[in-house]
Amino acid sequence: MAGRFLTYDELEALLGELLEDAAARVAFTIARSAEAAATERALREDVSPDRLFVQVRGSKRATRWRKVPIVANWQRELLDFALEHARGRDGRLFLPRTKFGQTLERACARAGIPRCTPNDLRRTYSTWLRADGVPNELSAPTVGHKDTRMLDRVCARLPPELLRVRLLAAPGRCSAGAVNTSGEGAQNGCIGQQVDDLTAEKLAPQRTPI
């Protein structure tokens, strides 16, 4: 199937079907969009003491070695979860693992959700940031891209439902005189929802995944 992103409900179900260290790896990957190889190299010291930044040890190209800011609530929650449940030794954040893609596939089957890959976890990060209103030119460096082309074409494309929500929050939207500050009005096609209210939780559930 084509690449996809996870909703909060799907992530919650997936985490519940993984062993502790593997669940921590999934949470950590989504929190700061690390490729699988960089996750293997992750150290506990890569997380700043205040948990505001995470060093990603990417090596595919120069832009993949990067420091990712932790700014969204869901990033902080997932990072806290990962640090609590990761079981790596000797400074390593995670235990050595092979065939992590197969681990994800089997866990998805047990959870009753569509298959996802390690790249889909990265795509989840970029899509959730986009749903939060973060422009691609700001998120591109955090995923190790030198420009926005991949995000524009694939990794941060919003589904129609989220695109509609974002359009309702855009300047100059809706018809003249139709301004309405209630959520109900916004659902009926009128503006009024603030950008800060349009978070990744709009992707599915009304609860946090962990």
Q: Looking at the predicted structure, is the pLDDT value of residue 192 above 70?
A: no
CATH 1.10.1500.10 fits 8-124, yes or no: no
Q: Which of 31-35, 95-99, 149-153, 200-204 has the lowest mean pLDDT?
A: 200-204
- Closest CA relative to residue 35, chosen from 121, 136, 126, 141: 121
Residues 165, 36: Cα–Cα separation, whole Å: 32
Domain positions in the chain = 8-124, 162-201
What are the angstrom distances between the C-alpha of 154 and each of 126, 144, 195, 198?
A: 10, 15, 23, 21
Strongest mean pLDDT among 69-73, 162-166, 179-183: 69-73
pLDDT confidence band for 195 (50 / 70 / 90): very low
Q: What is the pLDDT of residue 114?
A: 96
**Using one digit for the tens of pLDDT, what is the confidence trace for 28-41?**
999 988 888 899 99
Q: Looking at the predicted structure, is the pLDDT value of residue 146 above 50?
A: yes
Mean pLDDT (whole number) for 55-64: 83
**Using one digit for the tens of pLDDT, what is the confidence trace for 86-135?**
999 999 999 998 889 999 999 999 999 999 999 899 889 988 888 888 88
Report the chain's mean pLDDT, rounded to a whole number: 77
Q: Which residue has the tokens 């439902």?
A: 161
Q: Using a pLDDT cut of 70, give the percent of the chain over it.
A: 68
Residue 50 CB burial class (10 angstroms; 0-12, 13-18, ≥19): exposed
Q: What is the pLDDT of residue 106?
A: 97
Of residues 166 and 14, the one with the higher pLDDT is: 14
